[in-house]
């Protein structure tokens, strides 16, 4: 997830869109900042104002023989970490040039800052129907791994094998029950 500070929004205004999907590029999603005022955030006022563009990229890898989806996820995750900043920067500049170059955008002067957040972690593994077995109730690895151990209970989204906030809340609910029964 990469944020790019632009000197102004003129080229984006000429492009006349707020969100672009680029399925064949390193960043599949490019969006202008949301018009939110939450938490004192000030939305972009006009095309002359600086703006932060959000870019989302999720690398995909070509499958090799006998690789499961899990293997592919591992390799793609490794790619996120193994890619150096110079490469990310080049990808950002090339993509901006392709998107906005013909609207007068000059990546050398219009890009003021780039922040790359590599989220190779932070996502629990969800089982995949294609490759993972259908575990008997209580026998899935996450169910075995999260078993209560004396006064220790395990609550996090990993313990639910789901990469979402509601899974962490469900886990918290389960753990309170474990500790109070």
Which residues form the interface with ligand FAD (CB under 6 A)?
Answer: 1, 119, 122, 156-157, 163-166, 168
Please state the closest distance from residue 107 (CB atom) to ligand FAD, in A.
Answer: 25
Please state the closest distance from residue 50 (CB atom) to ligand FAD, in A.
Answer: 24
Tokens of 20: 């672009």
**Bridge partners (DSSP) listed for residue 152:** 149
| Cβ closest to ligand FAD, residue 100 vs residue 155 | 155
Please state the closest distance from residue 64 (CB atom) to ligand FAD, in A.
Answer: 27
Which residue's entry shows tokens 């955030």?
A: 41
| Cβ closest to ligand FAD, residue 79 vs residue 166 | 166
| Cβ closest to ligand FAD, residue 11 vs residue 167 | 167
**Bridge partners (DSSP) listed for residue 6:** 51, 111
CA distance 169 to 143: 16
Sign of torsion over alpha carbons 69, 75, 79, 81: positive
């Amino acid at each position: 997830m990469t944020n790019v500070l632009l000197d102004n929004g003129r080229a984006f205004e000429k492009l006349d869109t707020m969100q672009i999907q680029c399925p064949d590029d390193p960043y599949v999603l490019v969006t202008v900042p949301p018009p939110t005022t939450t938490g004192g955030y000030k939305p972009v006022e006009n095309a002359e104002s600086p703006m932060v563009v959000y870019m989302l990229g999720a690398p995909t890898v070509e499958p090799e023989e006998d690789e499961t989806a899990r293997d592919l996820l591992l390799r793609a995750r490794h790619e996120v970490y193994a890619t150096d900043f110079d490469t990310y920067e080049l990808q950002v500049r090339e993509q901006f040039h392709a998107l906005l170059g013909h609207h007068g955008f000059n990546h050398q002067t219009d890009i003021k800052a780039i922040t790359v957040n590599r989220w190779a972690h932070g996502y629990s593994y969800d089982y995949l129907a294609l490759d993972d077995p259908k575990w008997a109730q209580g026998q899935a690895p996450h169910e075995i791994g999260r078993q209560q151990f004396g006064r220790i209970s395990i609550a996090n989204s990993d313990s639910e094998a789901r990469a979402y906030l509601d899974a962490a809340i469900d886990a918290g609910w389960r753990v309170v029950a474990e500790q109070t029964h």
